[in-house]
Structure 1
Amino acid sequence: MASSIFQVRTANECIRDARNIPIPQMLFDELWFEREVTILFADSNIGKTILSLQIAQSIASGKPIEGFGLSAPSQGVLYCDFEMSDKQFHKRYSDDYQDEFEFHDHLKILKFQQNLADINISDKTFFREIKKEVIAHRCKVLVIDNITFLSRDALESAKEANDLMKVLKQLKSELALSILIIAHTPKRAPYKPISLKDMAGSSGLSRFADAVICIGKSISNPNQIYIKQLKVRSAEFQYGEDNVILMTIKKVNNFLGAYFQGYDHERNHLKSAGPTELEQEILDLHSGNEMSRREIAQRVGCDKMKVQRTLQKYQDDAVST
């Protein structure tokens, strides 16, 4: 008797059936393809929204971002903006609120109603309403900025992250959607290469994602960022730590975007090498215990100034004790 939930075919039948499925086209080079759930994450104030909205405008207009491939045709994009107010949006894409940039009409911006009470990602109403808007506006691309805004515990709960990804994967399958999720990274050591572990809710989110990319901030220039590829299924792995994509954030023709510069090794854009054994011991004691700097110095056998310099070197948020 055939199963009511499973389908069993030969491997050759799987391939034959796949011939009738359109080949996924590039949305953002080989970093994001059609009908994929992709995650883009970075720390605060680095450029997540700037880049994601730039990608959305590129897809809506059918015009590639310079330096990146785009093989998909112009199509509707529903951009869920849970970050900026209308006036902040206005300022970012204008010359001091005048001479505004003209976006493509295929790009739709979704925001919460002003009088809406708090909502979280476990609320079925949220996803039901998202689905209705996608269908109503005939969108094939969905961007959620920022998914941690909808979470009660910043997606640190594995169950919450898993539930979210399962719903989004189902939404992708039902509507043949391409989904880009913007996520956050907790405070990370600026001298270490970025990894999947740096993403909030990393295990739950990345497990179900088709691709994961991140943005890092370069130490060489306050306006320079880099893009790094962390997970890929539909293409070869190209943009790892030895070949990150360099971009500069600037406003061109009243459009604030990230503009391609070239490629480089990630290590050239990180702070100096990691801590020595003694410095690491100081950092561990500082983060794991409520100890004063004098007590830490006595524990590790150094002077208080060494503790002070170590914390200033590796922790931007070090608090004097």
Structure 2
Amino acid sequence: MNKNSFVIQTTNLTKAYGKSGQTKDVVNKVNLAVPQGCIYGFLGPNGAGKSTTMKMLLGLIKPTGGEISILGTPFVSQGKTALNEKSRLTILKQTGSLIESPSYYGHLTGRENLEIICTLKNVPTKEISQVLSIVRMENQQDKKVGHYSLGMKQRLGLASALLGHPKLLLLDEPTNGLDPAGIQEMRELIRSLPENYHMTIMVSSHLLSEIDQMADYVGIINKGQLIFQDSLLRLHTHSKKQLRLRTGNNNRALCVLNENKINCTMDKDFLLFPETSDDETARLISALVQEGISVLRIEEYQKSLEDIFLSLTGKQVSL
């Protein structure tokens, strides 16, 4: 892929905390490559370095070292800002963000909060109706934000981020704390943005199932290190399909299948087979039935993303 097709690129991006000689790398030489027009899922357990990385991309935290390029323009070089203030603000105006909990004035209405954001961003207030429509909050815009549910506050935060028609949107745990209905609604909103509004979205989460249902590309970070980065499709190639079979006598079934040169292994209560064709499946079942072995259960099994994460990191993590 051409370098110019990446909206975000980092080279050895690092953030260390602590005094000299006793520093700890919270983000350790991370090389991100976020393709244009995609939803990039930034995945990792709590404390892995996701928020710190995203704050460095926004200029909210100064990197210890490394380089950042945003929208094809060098943003940070050797840990220092590579742009003058005017150029830096030009880049940031094309970037929307929702980092951690959205900020708001609880005694003001949703629309009044967005009017303040318009003033800060120097964006015409006529955009408010459009972003409220995108996040489906037209009917709640005149209600005081202090009375909003958590899901409504998250949607208002997303509306704030969308003001100014950003080319790049950074969302840090946007579904955190939402109920199942709120999670589904936020997910659908995010998935609609690249196609409908030509945005590139980087969304972080510690929920593997969420990234699986939302993203096109995935970066997995663990203990500050990027351990995987590629398309979601490529991530799923780590999960090879298997056939799982349970019989009335697994030990005898294993012997029969081996005698018929059918490759399988035993795992607890199941016999495991590599991905097989329908004809091969019919042959192995026929071999068992001919020997009078009852087939109790047959199912296709594929590793979950949790299992893949475990295989990549080498250990269980707190999700």
Q: Name the TM-score, length of structure 2 as normaliser.
A: 0.39
TM-score calculated relative to the size of structure 1: 0.39
Between structures 1 and 2, the one with greater strand share: 2
